[in-house]
Amino acid sequence: MTKRKKIVLSFVWMLATFIGSIITLEILSRTSNCSTAMYSESMSACGNHLYTDDVNAGNYLNELSEKYSQGISPSPEELEKAVIEVDRASIGGVNGVYCGGVAFVSNDLPVQAELYVRRHELEHVFQFRLQMEEQNHESAANYAASKEYPIGMIETVIFSVVKARDHFDSTTCYLVALWETFKTYFLPFAAS
**Average pLDDT of the residues of the chain:** 85
**CA angle, 81 as apex, 75 and 87 as ends, to 5°?**
120
CA distance 109 to 77: 17
Identify the band that residue 192 occupies on the pLDDT scale cut at 50, 70 and 90.
Answer: very low
Please write the tens of the pLDDT for every residue from 113-151. Answer: 999 999 999 999 999 888 877 667 888 899 999 999 999
Residues 6+ apart with CB under 8 A from 135: 188, 189
Give the pLDDT confidence score for residue 123 in this predicted structure.
93
C-alpha pair distances (Å), 125 with each of 50, 97, 101, 148, 173: 18, 10, 7, 17, 32
Structural domain boundaries in the chain: 32-186
